[in-house]
Structure 1
């Protein structure tokens, strides 16, 4: 009984004590300082605070709290106040307010208000890059004024100080404004190339291309091929070889429209009209998580928006094409741009090829067969394209762009011979590229930005090869071939991208995307379908990356891309990380590592004669695997007083190549892998307005396919070249401009049979140009004389020959030589 009484008494004390700790507060519009006094008197609180400050805060409350601390925390949470407990004393003090100072802005061309994409900008010693519309934002907790250094290739550096809570338009002046008189003092100009603080990244100023020996039809490609790491030897026509990549593994984008082929049969015409190009960014490898769908490199070309200041007309005429562009402002915020190019006569002339009859196996006819047989060749060629772009901008910084393009490249030739054997051959190839994109960019009030874009691109390619061999003698049979092929590839793409500026040291980028690809390949022989491949690929995915400035001069970008091909029902992760270290204003280092996957690719097809051709196929993880590549990049650069030196090393391993080949009258598919590694050296020196540069690439690319005779054996890939040297120079002797470039390549392997290299011809080409610029009032004009292949080197292209049968047992190889020694004249006028 006594134990029960003791327990009851003990629990009673606990309940009484608990009830005693319960804090009740009842107040109606009462000052906080008065409430604390009541709490002190009723519940034995001890306080330390500024009575005058707390009396300015009024509270209405009717609530109970289980203990003292929760009561105080609830009272203070609505006010800029904080507290600490020291020896049972509640110390109440004002909460320190953290101010955030934010600026928003955009980099624009001063002359026509064109946004300058991917410009470099330094704000209070924090380096960053603008987006593709030239927008930037920055937040600081320590500074309310900001020093900004803004630069873009081909423009003078802009140095200014601005205040916070304002939107700023920074107008950059082009170095070559073509004005009659211009005086510039105490300013530095960015020249044609700039290596950013990202590994494997180049930014090119297309404006300087007009001063180089690159005619106004192909200056984009000619400028690209002068860069280290981009192969120039071989003059491949419809794709770029970047750091040893295979055909179809690198991507060229124009306003987010995929260009499926740069090919044109007349090599002086590029697939992109130079009159509509504003900016070129090259991602050779190791690029960040925002980019995907390729295991090679990416060339991102941004087109002009069109002038929003005044109507502008450009007309150009050379001995190849007539071209032009027109820019029309619509109000003060919108513009419309139209451009075209067209060949105005047949660029190829009828000619004769001397074929050596010593190769003909007809001993009984040696007395009547001459030493050479004349083959009559009748070629026909036409090229034309057009661009249309609408751009508009709102006062809050939002922008809408609609870009459309279409192009046609048609080539055919006929070869005839009527000596003893009637031989006729007809070849036709037509390529048709079209596409469009719509992009809306939103700039939020807090400085963050978002964009949504949709694009479509398509390439149609038709080829016909007809051969007729007919003996004059009655006892001989006729031989006839009629091969036709049709290859179509389409892409629909949608992207939603976001950029969040969390602080002056941290930026988050994230986005979602959807891609639909369709490939249709049909091949007929004598009207009989021998191949029909129809593949489709849908995939959804996204990316995330964190850009962190660890300390002054050290930046880390880490993230990933993830893709889910619906037909494969599998997630594919692609982690990536890069770092840049700015040791001083002149010296910096960078590195990158990443995994890259590609879900549509070009498979090589090896014929019995040893000729290669390529077809687009979609991955099915059965016969065609997903391409996967690992990139390792490490480099550094030094810049001072107009001198630039850079060194970059790379190593890539790629799995999932496919190759179709014939063996014992049966078609087979082989899987392969490759290794590429090399060094890029680059040095440039500016002397006032003159500039000279040299680049050297040491590289090696080897491959292994499972049909090779020795398992695990690696042999040289077709695009493997050990050495390539490129030099160029520009003298600005206003109003005359003299320029020249020279390219040397040690050559590709030429195989005869399996792993039997019979030749490795080197490549040499020297080009030069003389340009005269003049103006009268508001009309700007220029005359140019371009000297191509001055040394008249008989270089062969990367895909250099095709075999033409003359009889059942004899054939010739017609080699496609690179650009011969020639002179190009052009005249350009801008109103």
Structure 2
């Protein structure tokens, strides 16, 4: 018996353990949940507290076993609007509280043409937000089905309204139409020239006011851009925008998601974008959010018009240089087509003679006595034409579709001749062909979320030739000749998917994917011999995620990242971004931003043996050409009241990975450098009724260091300018309009060798315009006269001077392409 006692004890313990591990079996065939709970109480010692009538509404069909009581109840209730709590072993069953969400999503449109108004600013129940590229927005509330909406868009009257929740609502804004004397809306406020959003480094520009500035209308987009603080105006750069110290190629201009590689802006008469097709301009100077990528400088985002869906429209403009026009026509009730063109018909330049003082020439090496002045005959020539075509349509549910196509071509050349003791000739030619197209589809989902898919292609073909010859005037014997020719082509294919998800009234998420492919080809010949051939292909997959969160009324945070995976580099690059905004009062706001930015194609500089700089596109390979990387730090604030605006913004940028090709006689090398830019932008504007005046001041400094500099030595970059002041004013004296621009820049350093500054001339330019507008029946007319460079200052353009040889030893420099004192006339009609 003693031997059996341990066995009996073990058997008894196993029996108790088995009873505790007993599974809970449920076998119910369409039984009421209340009946299932009764069985559980009787068979498995459950204790419940519930409303019998409530549970009788739910039928259960289940044959399953469960190890614990909690898992049993979780399974039974997981698909029902019921919840539970456990108190002292009792399961309290109660109905789940239903959260009612009131949602509104709609679209902001131009009242006259039904054009969507992209990136409009609005507040919904005091929560600031912005519409997307097609004017769509969405907002969700858990507290109220009534929404107070305040909508503003530059050039339009502010709309303040109250609506109830609903899907796909339309909001129509009325354009200020300052050229029409019959405007009767006087009790509403209108947004005029410029608007800073609640994002650091971001400004929106009113394209409707651009035509009133001193411009001949063929270049009003660029004229408007160059008058903004932080965008370099001095030097009249022709092929790029320099924003907050960025180098050439580091800022991007997008038109309908098409990358524009060249601005074609000789003499400020023609810009790359036809103003007749522009609807909205947004400038991101730095510190921008995660959905923008692939550049370490600034971004200019231009949205083109869709065309009127109400009635046909015709614009024709003629000046003493070009003819331009646009035509838009509705197709049905929801579609439209728009066409536009520009064409030069008169040579922009006249042959002229330039006297250049011989004090700029080393006469000690000259053969014989030289005259006091050297006479140079210059014969420039310029031609340009472009074409835009766009088809757009939308559906009743808010979806939209558009195809945008563009092409442009410009040819610029000049000849310089000198017939003194030697005969020297120089021929310079540059030709550009820009092509582009995009397909955009926007989807508005039933829950108010939005998606946008865009596919785009853009090409730029550039051909240049630089021919110099020197020979004796008597014997006509050549003893110096140079013939350099360059072909540079860059292609880009891109596909982007952007999504916005509305989570709650104080939170929304943004996420997207992208694929970008670039093909860069460069060939250089000298005297018919190929001296350089570079072909690089880069493709990369990207994605971004961003959380937009409103902490409290007026205080919001945007935190996210962009990630890129270049397939050729087989490496993942992370770009975290963070920005904050505080709207302290109706008048005062503050913002700040920090971000890391990468760029996988770069415009490298080439320094030739005559110390001339050129720029070529190349792709990063992380060997000779590193990936550009920049860190942005931005902080600013603004004050708005009664037509008065004061804003101040400071920035600090550090950029790594600049490349420079050094060529000196038989020596060639590729060197890597970095730069640091910091500065302050101040902007002041005041509206007096329909009159507007503004002034901006930019304080900046950009320094660079390359491997061939002494260690730790930073010098001023070629585009470094300490001070720039820009002022403008518009007087509305209907039907006459007077405007003027003034720009002062403290100048760029002109180097002899890498560290010797030999000159830093100031830049001064005053332009003015007089416009007369009138209408006859339904036709609007406009006559204008533009006074360019009224003070007739001989300004030096940024990196445009040419060295002209007098013999094999001596040379002089002339500065080409700067705007002379001149008068432009134009005539415009609109039907």
The TM-score normalised by the length of structure 2 is 0.96
Asked if the contact 1:651/1:677 (under 8 Å) is kept, the reply is yes
Distance 1:475 1:201, change over 3 A: closer
- Farther-moved stretch of structure 1 (28-37 vs 549-558): 28-37
Give the aligned partner of residue 780 of structure 1.
780
Give the aligned partner of residue 307 of structure 1.
308
Inter-partner Cα distance in structure 2 for 1:69 and 1:165: 41
Give the aligned partner of residue 51 of structure 2.
50
- Farther-moved stretch of structure 1 (778-787 vs 316-325): 778-787
Inter-partner Cα distance in structure 1 for 2:559 and 2:308: 38
Give the aligned partner of residue 700 of structure 1.
701
Q: Note if 1:12 corresponds to 2:15.
A: yes
Secondary structure in structure 2 of the residue aligned to 1:346? coil
- Farther-moved stretch of structure 1 (115-124 vs 422-431): 422-431
CA deviations 1:775-826 (Å, max 9, x no partner) are 1222112111222222222211112410122333333322126212222211
Query: How do residues 59-208 of structure 1 correspond to structure 2 at under 5 angstroms?
Result: 59-176=60-177, 178-208=179-209
CA deviations 1:563-609 (Å, max 9, x no partner) are 12222221111111111112122211111111111111111112222
Asked if the contact 2:177/2:183 (under 8 Å) is kept, the reply is no
Inter-partner Cα distance in structure 2 for 1:533 and 1:41: 85
Asked if the contact 1:338/1:387 (under 8 Å) is kept, the reply is yes
Distance 1:44 1:612, change over 3 A: closer
* Cα deviation, residue 828, structure 1: 0.9
Asked if the contact 1:731/1:737 (under 8 Å) is kept, the reply is yes
CA deviations 1:601-632 (Å, max 9, x no partner) are 11111222222111111111111111111111
Q: Which runs of 5+ in 1 are unaligned?
A: none
- Farther-moved stretch of structure 1 (50-59 vs 737-746): 50-59
Distance 1:347 1:794, change over 3 A: same
Distance 1:220 1:37, change over 3 A: same
- Farther-moved stretch of structure 1 (180-189 vs 394-403): 180-189
CA deviations 1:685-739 (Å, max 9, x no partner) are 122222211111111111111111x211011111111111111111222222222
* Cα deviation, residue 357, structure 1: 6.5
Distance 1:91 1:181, change over 3 A: same
Query: How do residues 290-689 of structure 1 correspond to structure 2 at under 5 angstroms?
Result: 290-355=291-356, 366=369, 372=373, 374-474=375-475, 477-663=478-664, 665-689=666-690
Asked if the contact 2:266/2:817 (under 8 Å) is kept, the reply is no
Distance 1:419 1:116, change over 3 A: same
* Cα deviation, residue 455, structure 1: 1.0
- The size of the alignment, in residue pairs, is 826
Distance 1:35 1:413, change over 3 A: closer
* Cα deviation, residue 44, structure 1: 4.8
Inter-partner Cα distance in structure 2 for 1:229 and 1:357: 38
Distance 1:363 1:387, change over 3 A: closer
Give the aligned partner of residue 745 of structure 2.
745
* Cα deviation, residue 371, structure 1: 5.2
- Farther-moved stretch of structure 1 (567-576 vs 87-96): 87-96
Inter-partner Cα distance in structure 1 for 2:371 and 2:67: 115
Secondary structure in structure 1 of the residue aligned to 2:266? coil
Q: Note if 1:761 corresponds to 2:764.
A: no
Q: Which runs of 5+ in 2 are unaligned?
A: none
Asked if the contact 2:28/2:62 (under 8 Å) is kept, the reply is yes
Inter-partner Cα distance in structure 1 for 2:243 and 2:367: 53
CA deviations 1:230-269 (Å, max 9, x no partner) are 1111111111110011111111111111111113433311
Distance 1:5 1:276, change over 3 A: same
Inter-partner Cα distance in structure 2 for 1:350 and 1:264: 20
Give the aligned partner of residue 807 of structure 2.
807
- Farther-moved stretch of structure 1 (460-469 vs 38-47): 38-47
Inter-partner Cα distance in structure 2 for 1:474 and 1:44: 121
- Farther-moved stretch of structure 1 (254-263 vs 70-79): 70-79
Inter-partner Cα distance in structure 2 for 1:671 and 1:68: 69
Inter-partner Cα distance in structure 2 for 1:777 and 1:547: 50
Distance 1:14 1:59, change over 3 A: same
* Cα deviation, residue 634, structure 1: 0.8
* Cα deviation, residue 372, structure 1: 4.9
Inter-partner Cα distance in structure 1 for 2:471 and 2:294: 49
Give the aligned partner of residue 218 of structure 2.
217
Inter-partner Cα distance in structure 1 for 2:283 and 2:756: 35
Asked if the contact 1:794/1:817 (under 8 Å) is kept, the reply is no
Inter-partner Cα distance in structure 2 for 1:128 and 1:364: 72
Asked if the contact 1:795/1:817 (under 8 Å) is kept, the reply is no
Distance 1:479 1:39, change over 3 A: closer
Inter-partner Cα distance in structure 2 for 1:541 and 1:93: 47
The TM-score normalised by the length of structure 1 is 0.96
Secondary structure in structure 2 of the residue aligned to 1:799? coil
Distance 1:458 1:82, change over 3 A: same
Give the aligned partner of residue 824 of structure 1.
824
Inter-partner Cα distance in structure 2 for 1:89 and 1:169: 53
Inter-partner Cα distance in structure 1 for 2:365 and 2:712: 45
Asked if the contact 1:289/1:559 (under 8 Å) is kept, the reply is yes
Distance 1:223 1:718, change over 3 A: same
Inter-partner Cα distance in structure 1 for 2:343 and 2:685: 36
RMSD of aligned alpha carbons:
2.1
CA deviations 1:348-390 (Å, max 9, x no partner) are 1222333557856698854xx7655644333322111111111
Distance 1:146 1:810, change over 3 A: same
Inter-partner Cα distance in structure 1 for 2:620 and 2:470: 40
* Cα deviation, residue 28, structure 1: 4.3
Distance 1:475 1:315, change over 3 A: closer
Asked if the contact 1:361/1:810 (under 8 Å) is kept, the reply is no
Give the aligned partner of residue 282 of structure 1.
283
* Cα deviation, residue 285, structure 1: 0.6
Distance 1:472 1:94, change over 3 A: closer
Give the aligned partner of residue 3 of structure 1.
6
Secondary structure in structure 2 of the residue aligned to 1:4? helix
Asked if the contact 2:267/2:818 (under 8 Å) is kept, the reply is no
Inter-partner Cα distance in structure 2 for 1:615 and 1:808: 28
Inter-partner Cα distance in structure 1 for 2:41 and 2:372: 121
Secondary structure in structure 2 of the residue aligned to 1:291? coil
Secondary structure in structure 1 of the residue aligned to 2:7? helix
